[in-house]
């Protein structure tokens, strides 16, 4: 790997927000960089030393002249060498944190910028790690990254999932790969909150399982004893299986994906619990349940990101409001409604407002009893609002 003197130098424009970068902001946008002919020739994923307009070095960055995020801060030390040893240090630090939290190696091991590896997500499933390199630099350095990952964790299988939305924004391909070992031939069983989840690491959504809702599922589980539960946008049974593990009387899981619901059913079977499933468009199923005057003690709606960007925010908030309006009438008097958003463009205030408008339009009154976020294996970087993407609001109606 190159020494510091081998890295090219790129420079900030005079009006760039140098103070924010010095205070920990990890992204440098294309309008903040001097994108001259030399800089534009740098291959996506190249490493460089970032200087301010007075030629003071700020650190080592990964460059992508073709991206709106033109540079990502990797190390505040301008003499840092990004090689296998560098990866090992950060990965060991990330694992030490998770080992304090969880008795078994099933968690998000690397949460991108918050773990010092911008654009990179790694989820661990026992002896298998699934990584999403959603930035060009992580794709370019995937071999030393993989070597370090195996050395630090001792996993036998490393898989690359190329389905992340960020990859297209970085100009990257969508080709999945097995980097070490061999892909599991069947879905893996993962224990969380006393429930069994089946994770499809090759054909499932994202890396195969959503770890981020673990703490919120645990909270809702406390409300579910003896309850009739409805879990909409259930994926592989996220809240429904946690509720059954918590003693729910019954649970109905709704999702548009038949394979996801099959995995939910398999998880319930392994738990020895009854789970009803219904495949279909969530809005259509909510409407049908309202027509049938169905009632539940606990209702959870955990949809995909309706507002994945600022441009989609207005339409996304209307969609969240519609979910709340359709879900609220299904909740028994004194029952609980949990509404979630994984849209980083919709902040907590905007999302809460949309939920309350929907609940109000349904003619219901609500107490907000709990506000949740992603679990501690998904740490937040305070200087990057986007890292706090998940919101979970639990209302008593």
- The set of catalytic residues is 342
Beta carbons within 8 Å of 314's beta carbon, 6+ residues apart: none
Beta carbons within 8 Å of 327's beta carbon, 6+ residues apart: 232, 286, 299, 301, 337, 339, 358
The distance from CA 296 to its chain's CA centroid, rounded to whole angstroms, is 28
Helix (H) or strand (E) holding 201: none
Q: Taking the C-alpha atoms of 310, 313, 315 and 317 in order, what is their torsion angle to the nearest 10 degrees?
A: 170
* Helix/strand/coil percentages in the chain, nearest 5: 35, 25, 40
Assess contact for 396 and 370: CB atoms under 8 A: no
Q: Tokens for 370?
A: 């709990």
* Backbone φ, ψ for residue 20 (5° rounding): -65, -40
Rounded-to-integer distance, Cα 357 and Cα 336, Å? 17
Q: Which ranges constitute the DSSP H helices of 202-249?
A: 214-223, 238-245
């Amino acid at each position: 790997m190159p020494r510091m003197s081998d890295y090219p130098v790129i420079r900030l424009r005079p009006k760039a927000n140098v103070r924010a970068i010095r205070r920990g902001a990890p992204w440098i946008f294309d309008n903040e960089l001097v994108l001259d002919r030399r800089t534009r020739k740098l291959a996506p994923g190249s490493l460089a030393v970032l200087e301010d307009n007075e030629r003071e070095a700020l650190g080592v960055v990964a460059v992508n002249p073709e991206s709106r995020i033109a540079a990502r801060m990797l190390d505040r030390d301008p003499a840092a060498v990004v090689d296998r040893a560098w990866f090992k240090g950060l990965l060991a630090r990330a694992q030490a944190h998770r080992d304090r939290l969880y008795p078994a190696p099933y968690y998000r091991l690397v949460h991108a910028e918050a773990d010092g590896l911008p654009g990179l997500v790694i989820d661990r499933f026992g002896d298998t790690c699934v990584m999403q390199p959603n930035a060009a630099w992580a794709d370019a350095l995937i071999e030393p990254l993989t070597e370090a990952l195996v050395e630090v964790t001792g996993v036998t299988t490393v898989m690359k999932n190329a389905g992340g939305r960020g990859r297209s924004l970085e100009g990257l391909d969508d080709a999945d790969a097995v980097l070490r070992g061999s892909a599991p031939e069947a879905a893996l069983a993962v224990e969380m909150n006393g429930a069994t989840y089946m994770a499809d690491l090759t054909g499932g959504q994202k890396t195969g399982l959503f770890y981020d809702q673990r703490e919120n599922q645990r909270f809702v589980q406390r409300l579910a004893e003896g309850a009739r539960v409805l879990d909409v946008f259930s994926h592989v049974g996220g809240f429904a299986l946690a509720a059954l593990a918590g003693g729910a009387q019954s649970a109905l899981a709704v999702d548009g994906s038949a394979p996801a619901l099959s995995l939910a059913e398999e998880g319930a079977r392994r738990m020895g619990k009854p789970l009803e499933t219904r495949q279909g468009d969530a809005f259509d199923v909510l409407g049908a349940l309202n027509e049938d005057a169905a009632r539940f003690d606990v209702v959870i709606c955990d949809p995909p990101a309706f507002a994945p960007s600022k441009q989609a925010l207005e339409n996304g908030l209307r969609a969240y409001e519609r979910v709340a309006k359709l879900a609220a009438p299904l909740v028994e008097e004194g029952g609980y409604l949990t509404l979630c958003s994984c849209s980083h463009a919709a902040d907590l205030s905007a999302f809460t407002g949309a939920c309350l408008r929907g609940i109000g339009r349904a003619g219901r009154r609500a107490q907000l009893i709990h506000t949740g976020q992603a679990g501690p294996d998904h740490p937040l970087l305070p200087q990057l609002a986007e890292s706090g993407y998940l919101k979970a609001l639990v209302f008593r109606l």
